[in-house]
Structure 1
Amino acid sequence: MRRKIEEALLVWKNSRVRKPLVLNGARQVGKTYSILDFAQKQYRNLLYVDFSAQKNACALFEGDITPEALLPQLEVITKTSVDPESTLLFFDEVQACPRALTSLKYFFERAPEYHVIAAGSLLGVALGREEYSYPVGKVDTLTMHPLDFEEFLWAFQEEQLADLIRAAYAADRPMGLHDYALGHYRRYLLVGGMPEAVDAASSSASPSEIQSIQLGITDAYIADMTKYASPLDSAKILNVWRSVPEQLAKENHKFQYATISSSARAFQYEAPINWLNAAGLVSFCYRVSEGRKPLKAFVEQDFFKLYLLDVGLLAARYGVDAADLEPAADKGSCFRGGIAENYVMQQMVANGIEPFYWGTTSRAEVDFVVQMSEGDVAPVEVKSGGNVSARSLEAYRKAYQPPYVLRVSTKQFGFENGIKSVPLYAAFCIGS
């Protein structure tokens, strides 16, 4: 399965100022597979330690964790000879051995010639409960996400279609395969980007089989909430987790504590929400009071939306099928709009964009506002169907006169009256 992280790993490997690498990401997004595949392609040898499976390996890090002390012992337990130039050292599930993460500092300071990668899930929460020293400034970091829509197309041998979409996005010209691409987009909404689900879908698994995989993944996340939080905290974390689909099905997708419970208050749930964000299971989208750069200067911390890491997991939790996602002017439009927003948010986050949203007291609201690579601030309006009327977008344009706006919908590519029309299947192009 081709992943974009491979390109970033190759840049890291060839960097003249390479540091040990920490690869973050939620559980089951494909970190281990991608690194092992990268090692097979780029190195002669691999020294692999999985701290969840090899409990005895953690004992090696209880004493001296300098490279000169660790390497001979690691060579013995893994039966691997280490050559600095041709061997990758891979410490997996490093959250199970905090001092292995600390050891990266000494690899950087005393043995920078070694190629070392540490990967783990829940690093932000699991290690926060331990006494450890994070090697700040001594490591490079990357974050891995579920497959974006372009990677999804690659998984189905649709590389040429992905290239055509990119070309049409750049040229603002209609694409003849528009309906064909929309079909793949709607399939992605149900399958999502979790590698196990994508692999099953590419092997012609049934919708019920794919949904079973997705619900199994969410069950594993719930188990982590119990494992890495106190009983009281885990109950609140679970309440927030369960409320996100309901939050996104409302007409106003702003996070409302009353959706969790009529008695819920912000001070009670701030830590549980941050736990889910640190675990990579949700992403914040904060409101900004002004649609001008720098956007971070205008963030209103008390107003935010939460999106799940993967639209397929969201669809599975709703229990929807393909017919439920067809555009229609009915009471389900808010639910479909929430799924479309979650999808677009997922694509932008995977692209390294930090989206915000803009709103006013007069109820005008633009779904997303992003700062593009060229420096422009662009509003992004998302429509799950072809009805693209948007009074809020016009209010934003009148207030800030942006050079252009992005309208993401089922309509064709185009550029007219300062509006760049982006089909939903092309959201992965935004900011790239």
Structure 2
Amino acid sequence: MAEIQRGILDKLKAWKENPRRKPLVLQGARQVGKSWALKKFGRESFEDMVYINFDTMPAMKEDFKRTKEPLKLIKLMELMTGKKISPTSTLIVLDEIQECNEALNSLKYFCEDAPEYAVACAGSLLGVALNRTGASFPVGKVDFMTLYPVSFAEYLRAADAQLYHSYQMIDEVMAVPEVLHQQLIDAYKLYLVLGGMPEAVSVYIDTRSWAEVKVVQDAILQSYSLDFAKHISNKDIPRVFQVWGNLQNQLAREDKKFRYADIQKGARAREYEGAIEWLCLAGLVHRVSAIGTPCLPLSAYKKDNAFKLYLNDVGLLGRKFDLDATTILMGDNLFTEFKGVMAENYVLQALVRQYGSQHYYWTSGNTAEVEFLLQDTGKIIPIEVKADKNVTAKSLAYYRKQYLPKLSIRLSALNMRKDDDLLNLPLYLVDKLKMFVGNFELNE
């Protein structure tokens, strides 16, 4: 299968070289490529690698229950794998570590008593597991990274090296040559269908078959549902299924605000908040909270009872909508109804990769709404998302008139330009948004 060069590998190599490194916890949703990344990192950056999977090697759980001493654990892993573990040349990978709380807790002792050993762990539901372990987890004794679905830039690098090279050269606020602009718009539209789940991307690059991509995406959605039954208490399973099964209906509405009553008549927040929190911790959905008054810090002004829920991957959202690939690529009437939310989901994924998991949107009752508010170096930046070339909506103009931001951003299918404090970026450049914001601040 086609191999995708992931940016996480550079971060992993930097972690290895850091003299103050701690055991690494790699978080991320199921099937975003965590195991692949750690194994590739081990092959490329170390002489050898010891790989322990607590799901397929359950006997190792008993060994971690018997002792927390790193040297004893290393000896047990050597006996189990038949490999000598060197502190300078061996990577220890503990996969599906959420299946063994004792292994999670042992990271404290690796940090304190054996920091010379390179230990990296991963798991599909680590966010849930870390929340569950609470005080017993070695807070402050580990380094964290998060792996997300394949970005648009990573997809482009794997699918079209020449187009990716041209894309990488775009680093100034100036119109992109029209031929290149159209090629990148076409690639962006394709990515909306494909999304960023690594197997789906690899299958498409190898086969160009949308039917095979659909099979992969459906299997991933099914694996998520199986996790609900396996890892959630019986009393909470129905509510998680209800929220998960209703997400596309919530996003299909014009305002997209999450409404409990749409799940079940008479439903209340306290009944479903745990289910929503589980989906967020599992990395399957992203919550975007409403802000009425845009003041710093945004987290202090969010409305707890007003939010939107987006999926972790735009391709999976398209499958939940049951959109056909040609529907999106040809832009027919059916896709017209959904392209706004697809563009928003795509943009949010890029914002999460660059700025973390806390995101907000601005609303002024029924008057106006701006899709995202970004907090960056002491400034609040409104971000408007338009799925095509029609940018005549009044919400961003209303926000700018009310709050006079130093920088506003509009993402659309139009070419790049800057009008005073309004930066118009093509949607395909959202992976570079942080760079453009930084360049704007340097030129202030």
TM-score (norm 1): 0.95
Which aligned pairs between 1:75-224 and structure 2 lie closer than 5 A? Answer: 75-126=78-129, 133-158=136-161, 160-168=162-170, 170-176=172-178, 177-224=180-227
- The answer as to whether partners of 2:195 and 2:201 remain within 8 angstroms in 1 is yes
Q: Which residue number in structure 2 is paired with residue 21 of structure 1?
A: 24
After superposition, the C-alpha distances for 1:262-285 in whole angstroms (9 at most, x for unaligned) are 222111110000000000000111
Shift of 1:377: 1.7
**Aligned CA distance change for structure 1 residues 220 and 263 (closer, same or farther; 3 Å):** same
In structure 2, give the amino acid aligned to 1:12.
W
Partner of 1:366: 370
Distance 1:322 1:76 in 2: 50
Q: SS of the residue aligned with 1:280?
A: coil
Structure 1, 299-308 or 170-179: larger mean CA deviation: 170-179
Percentage of matched positions with identical amino acids: 39
The answer (yes or no) to whether the contact 1:406–1:421 under 8 Å persists in 2 is yes
User: Which amino acid in structure 1 is aligned with residue 175 of structure 2?
Assistant: R
Which structure 2 residues correspond to residues 220-235 of structure 1 after superposition, within 5 A? 220-235=223-238
Give deviations 1:229-273, integer Å, cap 9, x for gaps.
Answer: 122311100111111111111100111112212222111110000
Q: Is 1:240 paired with 2:248? A: no
2:34 aligned partner = 31
Q: Match of 2:79, SS?
A: helix
Query: What is the CA–CA distance in structure 2 between the aligned matches of 1:203 and 1:343, rounded to whole Å?
Result: 23
1:131 to 1:284, Cα distance in 2 relative to 1, 3 A: closer
Distance in 2 (CA, whole Å) between partners of 1:228 and 1:309 is 19
> Residue 210 of structure 2 contacts residue 325 of structure 2 at CA under 8 Å; is this kept in 1?
no
TM, length-normalised to structure 2? 0.93
Aligned residues of 1:247 and 1:259 also touching (Cα < 8 A): yes
- Over the aligned positions, Cα root-mean-square deviation in angstroms equals 1.9
* Mean Cα deviation higher: 317-326 or 81-90: 317-326
What amino acid does structure 2 have at the position aligned with 1:335?
F
Counterparts of 1:295-334 in structure 2, within 5 Å, are: 295-325=298-328, 333-334=336-337
Structure 1 residue ranges without an equivalent (≥5): none
Deviation at 1:73, TM superposition (A): 1.0
Specify the alignment match of 1:261 in structure 2.
Answer: 264
Q: By how many angstroms is 1:356 displaced?
A: 1.0
Say if 1:169 and 1:422, in contact at 8 Å, map to a contact too.
Answer: no
How much does 1:327 deviate? 8.4
Change (3 A) 1:296 1:167: farther
| Deviation for aligned residue 1:114 | 0.5
**Distance in 1 between residues matched to 2:133 and 2:62, nearest whole Å:** 16
SS in 1 for 2:405: coil
Q: Are residues 28 and 332 of structure 1, via their aligned partners in 2, closer, same or farther at CA, if it must alter by over 3 Å?
A: closer
How many residue pairs end up in the alignment? 430
Displacement after TM superposition at 1:289 (Å): 2.1
Write the deviation string for residues 292-313 of structure 1: whole angstroms up to 9, x where unpaired. Answer: 4322222111111111000000
- 1:401 alignment partner AA: L
Match 1:384 to one of 363, 380, 387: 387
Residue deviations 1:10-52, cap 9 Å, x none? 1111112110000011110000001100111110011110111
394-403 or 331-340, which moves further after superposition?
331-340
Q: In 1, distance between residues paired with 2:131 and 2:294?
A: 35
**Deviation (angstroms), 1:163:** 4.7
For residues 147 and 162 of structure 1, the distance between their equivalents in structure 2, rounded to whole angstroms, comes to 14
The code of the aligned residue for 2:166 comes to L
Q: How far apart, in 1, do the equivalents of 2:36 and 2:260 lie? A: 38
